[in-house]
Amino acid sequence: MNDAVGLLATLVGFRTLSRQPNLDLIGFVESYLRGFGVASRRVPHADGTRANLYATIGPRGRGGICLSGHADVVPVAGQPWSTDPFVLTGRNGRLYGRGTSDMKGFLACVLAAVPAFVAEPLALPVHIAISYDEEIGCVGVRDLLDELAVDAARPIGCIVGEPTQMRLASAHKGKRAYRCCVRGLAGHSAQPQLGVNAIEYAAELVTALRGSARAMQADGTRDARFDPPWTTVQTGTIEGGVAVNVVPDRCTFDFEIRELAGADGERIVEAFTGFANGTLLPEMRRVSADAAIELEALSAYPGLRDDATSLALKSLCADLLGDDREEVTLSFGTEGGLFQATGIPAVVCGPGAISRAHRADEYVTADELGECLRFLERLAGYCRQPR
C-alpha cells in the first residue's frame, strides 16, 4: 500500500493537463518499468509534446490482459481547493489531489503491482497502456489502438481503470461533441432589422436542442440500466456579442450528446442541421448573403456494449474481485468503447468515484487503493497459471 501511495504522490505531482506536455510523467514511468526489466514504447502525438506508453510483461506473441488508463487531468482553475491540487494530501483515510480518482489512483496501483507481475514467469502477458488527452475526447489512445489493431498478439481483453469504486462496469454511453458558429451581420441596435443578430439565431438553435433533449426524455430510446435511462443533450458553453448597443455578428456555442446504443445521436444532429439550413439560414440570408451557420464535430467516441464478446472478461474480473457485487453501467464515457471497436473486449473497473472527479478536493480512499491492489495481485496469479 505504501508503494501505491508514494507512486500516486509522484503522479499527482505531474501537471498533466489535457493538451499539455506529459513527457515528464511518461519518462518517469519508463524509468520505473525499466527498473524491473520491463521495456516500453511510446506512441507519440504528432507534435512530439505528449505520448501514449505501452508495455508488456510476460511472453511475447500472446494476447494477454491490458490494464489501461489515461494520464491527463482536467484543469483546477477557479475551483475552491482546500489543499494544493498537485500535492497529494492524506486526511482521514482519503488521499486528495487532482487526478486521484480520475484516474492516477488506478495507474499508481498498476505500477505498484509490477513487482507482483515480474516476481514469477507469466503464462499470459499483462500489458500496460497509458494514454494522453482522454479528457478532451479520447484523443491519444486512438493512435495506440491503430497499432494494436494490426498486431496479431493484441490483448484478448482490456480493463479500463476509470473510477467505479471497484465495481465492475460492462457498458457505458457514447458521446458526440459539437461546436456551432453562427455568423450574422453587425449593426446599430437602434436599427436591428438591418443586421442579423447571431445571438438570437443561436438562441433558437439552443432552444431546438433543448426540445430534442425533452423529446429524448419523453419518447426516446430507453435503457433502465443507465442514469438517466435516455440519450441526453446539453449546451455547455456559449459566447458572442461585444456591447449591448451592437447587433452581434457572431455567436459560438458547444453542445454534446451522450447517447445510448442506436441512432439517437444521428437523428438529433439531422434535426439540428435541418432546422438550421432549412428554416433559419434562408431567413438570415434575406438580410445578409454572407450569413452562415457552421457545425464542427469536436470529438466522438462509441459507447461500451455489454455483449457476448465480453463474457469471459467479465467472468474473470468478477472472480478477481472475489464477491457477488452487482455490475453497474456508466453514464460517463471511457476509452473502453474504442478498445471494443478495435476488437478488444473491455470492461471498466477502478478505484475512486466519478462523483469526486473534475471538482475541488478530488480524492480516492486508501481502502479503494488497497482493494485495487488485491485485484491486481489476483490477476498476476491468474496470469501465472499454465495454459
Do both 165 and 16 map to the same domain? Answer: yes
Do both 180 and 291 map to the same domain? Answer: yes
- Residue where a domain stops, chosen among 243, 272, 301: 301
Do both 150 and 48 map to the same domain? Answer: yes
- Residue where a domain stops, chosen among 301, 326, 344: 301
Catalytic residue among 133, 134, 162, 361: 134
Catalytic residue among 72, 102, 306, 368: 72
Do both 216 and 149 map to the same domain? Answer: no
Counted domains in the chain: 2
Q: Which residues pair with 336 in a beta bridge?
A: none
pTM: 0.90
Do both 167 and 50 map to the same domain? Answer: yes
Do both 347 and 264 map to the same domain? Answer: no
Amino acid code (one letter) for 114: V
Active site residue 134: yes
pLDDT in tens, the chain (387 residues): 679 999 999 999 999 999 999 999 999 999 999 999 999 999 999 999 999 999 999 998 778 999 999 999 999 999 999 999 999 999 999 999 999 999 999 999 999 999 999 999 999 999 999 999 999 999 999 999 999 988 877 899 999 999 999 999 999 999 999 999 999 999 999 999 999 999 999 999 999 999 999 999 999 889 999 999 999 999 999 999 999 999 999 999 999 999 997 778 999 999 999 999 999 999 999 999 999 999 999 999 999 999 898 999 999 999 999 877 889 999 899 999 999 999 999 999 999 999 999 999 999 999 999 999 999 999 999 999 986
Do both 159 and 181 map to the same domain? Answer: no
Do both 146 and 10 map to the same domain? Answer: yes
Do both 224 and 373 map to the same domain? Answer: no
**Domain limits at 192?**
174-301
Coil vs helix vs strand at 131? strand
Handedness of CA 270, 271, 276, 280 (dihedral sign): positive
Q: Does the bond joining 345 to the residue before it have cis omega, within 30 degrees of 0?
A: no
Interatomic CA distance for residues 239 and 133, integer angstroms? 24
**Grid coordinates of 58:** 510476460
Do both 54 and 133 map to the same domain? Answer: yes
- Residue where a domain stops, chosen among 301, 324, 339: 301
Query: Which residues does 248 contact at the CB level (< 8 Å), separation at least 6?
Result: 184, 186, 197, 198, 199, 240, 241, 242
Q: Are strands 157-160 and 346-348 parallel, antiparallel or unpaired?
A: parallel
Residue 75 maps to which CATH number? 3.40.630.10
Query: Which residues does 337 contact at the CB level (< 8 Å), separation at least 6?
Result: 172, 174, 301, 302, 303, 304, 305, 346
Do both 311 and 163 map to the same domain? Answer: yes
10-16 long-range contacts, CB within 8 A, separation 24+: 11/71, 11/99, 11/104, 11/107, 11/108, 12/86, 12/87, 12/88, 12/97, 12/98, 12/99, 12/100, 12/104, 13/86, 13/87, 13/88, 14/71, 15/86, 16/71, 16/72, 16/73, 16/99, 16/132
Do both 253 and 140 map to the same domain? Answer: no
Residue 229 maps to which CATH number? 3.30.70.360
